[in-house]
Amino acid sequence: MQDESDALGNSEHEHFVIKKKPELESSDQTFVDKLIRYITTMEGASNDINIRTNQSFKNKYVVQLTNLPKMKLQDFQNIEMLSMRIKNIFIYMSDHKMEIEVWKNKKDIKTKKRGRVSSIIYEWNLDNVSEEDRKMVKNILNSFADMDTIECQFHADLKSEPPNYYVVHIMPMDKISYKQLKDIRFSYRTFIENIVFDFPKNIIELKIQRVGSKLQYRKKVVIKK
């Protein structure tokens, strides 16, 4: 990453310090400008947030943001919509940062690689999870641990929030692939209520709905005119 500091002069972006202003194509510069505007409007954004760019790669450039506030998965989905050429977003909870990889040209865009197939058997302490929910909670945690960016073990705390939810706090040491995490969210969309990235506390929070509590929402309500 570039090291030279250049304070951004626009007061609209007063939360940011740009490390070496990027010399990008106009479309890429538009993406970076929109990204800055989006991040600066987030609740909890501080004066310590900064942005760096790295264009040393042949087919992509990288935008790195550090000292981030608490974010939701929806925030990353909104960022993804700012450019059609985003390759992936990597989240580093322990370093309070994320890196956005962007293809330099449309012709560089490639199909995504398949994730690894894991044969590892994980053991989770699910004593405070009801019997009917254990398979579901275990599968969600296993899917998280199976992400190909997870190299080391991670710590997870699960707390029951009766009557409808469990809250899981995950403290990963490795980077997290946004696209793989989005796939997990989609696969378990019936049960994962939301995912929050608490960068100041180095915690990813999963709010998981209990199997039994979901039954009441499956009933169709018919309104007669």
Q: For Cα atoms 186, 74, 9, give the angle at the middle one, nearest 5 degrees.
A: 150
Is residue 222 in a domain?
Answer: no
Average pLDDT value for the chain: 82
The encoded tokens of residue 98 equal 């994320």
Neighbours of 206 (CB within 10 A): 26
Indicate if 82 and 142 belong to the same structural domain: no
Alpha helices in the chain (DSSP H): 26-40, 73-80, 131-145, 178-187, 211-214
Is residue 116 in a domain?
Answer: no
Total tally of structural domains belonging to the chain: 2
Average pLDDT for 169-185:
94
Is residue 124 in a domain?
Answer: no
Indicate if 136 and 172 belong to the same structural domain: yes
Task: Assign 110 a pLDDT band (cuts: 50, 70, 90).
Answer: low
Contact 101, 60 (CB under 8 A): yes
Give the domain CATH number at 28: 3.30.565
Task: Assign 99 a pLDDT band (cuts: 50, 70, 90).
Answer: very high
Q: Which helix (H) or strand (E) holds 203?
A: strand 203-209
pLDDT at 166: 96
The pTM for the full model equals 0.79
Indicate if 24 and 70 belong to the same structural domain: yes
Indicate if 100 and 152 belong to the same structural domain: no
- Print the domain residue range for 10: 5-106
- Which tops the pLDDT comparison, 219 or 76? 76
Phi/psi for 61 (5° steps) reads -125, 160
User: Considering only CA atoms, which of 140, 111, 144 is closest in space to residue 126?
Assistant: 140
Domain boundary among 106, 139, 161: 106
Indicate if 63 and 141 belong to the same structural domain: no
- Which tops the pLDDT comparison, 139 or 120? 139
pLDDT at 57: 87
Indicate if 102 and 10 belong to the same structural domain: yes
Give the domain CATH number at 144: 3.30.980
Is residue 60 in a domain?
Answer: yes
Longest dimension (CA), the chain: 66
- Which tops the pLDDT comparison, 108 or 92? 92
pLDDT at 136: 95
Determine the 3-state secondary structure of 103 from DSSP.
strand
Indicate if 166 and 97 belong to the same structural domain: no
Could you tell me which residues come within 8 angstroms of residue 125 by beta carbon, excluding any fewer than 6 positions away?
A: 158
Indicate if 46 and 93 belong to the same structural domain: yes
Indicate if 135 and 101 belong to the same structural domain: no
